[in-house]
């Protein structure tokens, strides 16, 4: 009798493990489902729109500038399934217009909205004593409240299709570092918002997925072109608006040293965004995607940001503070008063 029971248990365990693995790799059938992506002018959103179009999804590429270079390139290189949508995530009227546009398309085609990918975002850099309240508000309006607003607007359509919401946060939503508080609090907020939404949506069969890119800033639009110029202009604005006592304690050279490294961001970023795009594709297409994807970047053997983020789950806070302090000291970014 016992051999039969043991054999039965073994068969059940093997079947469960096989079914569990299969459920993590099975993909949904694609039949023109709609996917809305924010921030498609450049970077992750731009390349994700192209990949999903190739897979025959009906892509709604939200662009900050509908008539800009990025939007024009998408229209030129993609099929007629892709639609460019004017979408500044800080403007309620543009979000509502985007929903009206997408609802009209789906009435005509009969395919529902399968996924919303909240990808649009902007960066900011500087010590808390230098960063202005306007900077905190501006970045939060895009990275956090834009995500919340877009999600809430399209959630009824996602519930109807039992689809998914995919939010792009950052490794910096799991790891606190000097001089990223303006950006970091929006990414920590995005993590919490996503976790809360995932729990609330379980009863509707809606999946909520977080994609956390590591060190990819130099290969995306965040630290290039107009965004890099904006970050450097903000350095002058921070200095001009700083309290005299703060200027005396830190010194102008200290502030300049923080921004000098931004020009070299591309040297430590990979030459491709494909690992992040692959994570997005899994989030959109797998029947049971992982709740979060931490994606390593960088050009070395390891992505230091992701490495420290993983350590952060296990080490006591004083240990992490010591390690991060030593890491940033080794970069030569503590020239206070010089």
pLDDT, tens only, 272-297: 899 999 999 999 999 999 999 999 99
Paired residues of 36 in beta bridges: 60, 116
293 catalytic per annotation: no
pLDDT at site 209: 98
Contact 57, 113 (CB under 8 A): no
Fold of 28-221+269-315: Rossmann fold (3.40.50)
Q: Give pTM, 2 decimals.
A: 0.88
- The full set of domain ranges for the chain reads 28-221+269-315
The span from the CA of 257 to the CA of 278, in Å, is 35
For tokens 């789950």, the residue is 313
Contact 61, 45 (CB under 8 A): yes
**What letter does residue 14 receive in the DSSP assignment?**
H
pLDDT at site 230: 80
pLDDT category, 338, cuts 50, 70, 90? very low
Paired residues of 218 in beta bridges: none
The span from the CA of 102 to the CA of 87, in Å, is 12
Q: Side by side, which strands form the sheet with 164-168? A: 83-86, 58-63, 34-37, 113-118, 164-168, 207-213, 292-295
Kindly tell me if the per-residue pLDDT of 328 is higher than 70: yes
The span from the CA of 155 to the CA of 115, in Å, is 9
Dihedral sign (CA 94, 99, 102, 103):
negative
- Integer-rounded Cα Rg, in Å, for the chain is 22
Kindly tell me if the per-residue pLDDT of 4 is higher than 80: no
Paired residues of 208 in beta bridges: 165
pLDDT at site 111: 72
C-alpha to C-alpha distances, 94 to 66, 121, 290, 309, nearest whole angstrom: 11, 16, 31, 36
Question: Taking residues 29-36, what's their average pLDDT?
Answer: 95
pLDDT at site 220: 73
List of residues 6+ apart from 280 with CB closer than 8 A: 44, 48, 51, 117, 166, 168, 211
pLDDT at site 337: 47
Among residues 16, 47, 136, 183, the one annotated as catalytic is: 183
Kindly tell me if the per-residue pLDDT of 218 is higher than 90: no
Q: In this structure, how many other beta carbons lie within 10 angstroms of the beta carbon of residue 121?
A: 27
Contact 309, 171 (CB under 8 A): yes
Question: Taking residues 45-49, what's their average pLDDT?
Answer: 97
Q: Long-range pairs for 330-333 at CB < 8 Å and ≥24 separation?
A: 331/261, 332/257, 333/178, 333/257, 333/258, 333/261
pLDDT at site 89: 98
C-alpha to C-alpha distances, 190 to 45, 75, 90, 148, 163, nearest whole angstrom: 17, 30, 15, 8, 19
The span from the CA of 55 to the CA of 57, in Å, is 6
The span from the CA of 231 to the CA of 260, in Å, is 11
């Amino acid at each position: 009798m016992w051999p039969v029971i043991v054999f039965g248990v073994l068969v059940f365990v093997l079947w469960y493990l096989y079914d569990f693995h299969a459920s993590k790799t099975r993909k949904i059938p694609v039949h023109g489902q709609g996917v809305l992506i924010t921030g498609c002018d450049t970077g992750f959103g731009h390349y994700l729109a192209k990949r999903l179009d190739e897979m025959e999804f009906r892509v709604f590429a939200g662009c900050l500038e509908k008539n800009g270079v990025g939007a024009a390139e998408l229209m030129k290189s993609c099929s007629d399934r892709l639609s460019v949508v004017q979408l500044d995530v800080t403007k309620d009227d543009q979000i509502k217009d985007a929903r009206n546009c997408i609802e009209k398309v789906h009435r005509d085609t009969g395919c529902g909205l399968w996924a919303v990918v909240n990808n649009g975002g902007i960066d900011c850099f500087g010590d808390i004593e230098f960063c202005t309240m306007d900077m905190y508000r501006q970045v939060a309006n895009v990275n956090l409240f834009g995500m919340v607003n877009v999600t809430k607007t399209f959630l009824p359509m996602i519930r109807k299709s039992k689809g998914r919401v995919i939010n792009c946060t950052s490794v910096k939503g799991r790891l606190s570092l000097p001089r990223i508080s303006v950006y970091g609090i929006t990414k920590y907020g995005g993590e919490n918002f996503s976790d809360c939404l995932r729990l609330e949506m379980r009863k509707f069969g809606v999946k909520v997925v977080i994609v956390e890119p590591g060190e990819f800033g130099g290969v995306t639009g965040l630290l290039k072109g107009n965004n890099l110029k904006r970050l450097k202009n903000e350095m002058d604005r921070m200095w001009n608006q700083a309290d005299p006592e703060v200027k005396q304690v830190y010194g102008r050279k200290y502030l300049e040293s923080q921004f000098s490294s931004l020009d070299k961001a591309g040297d430590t970023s990979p030459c491709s965004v494909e690992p992040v795009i692959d994570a997005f594709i899994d989030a959109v297409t797998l029947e049971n995607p992982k709740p979060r994807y931490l994606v390593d970047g960088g050009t070395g053997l390891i992505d230091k940001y992701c490495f420290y983020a993983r350590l952060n789950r296990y080490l006591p806070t004083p240990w992490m503070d010591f390690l991060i302090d030593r890491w940033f000291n080794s970069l030569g970014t503590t020239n206070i008063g010089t």
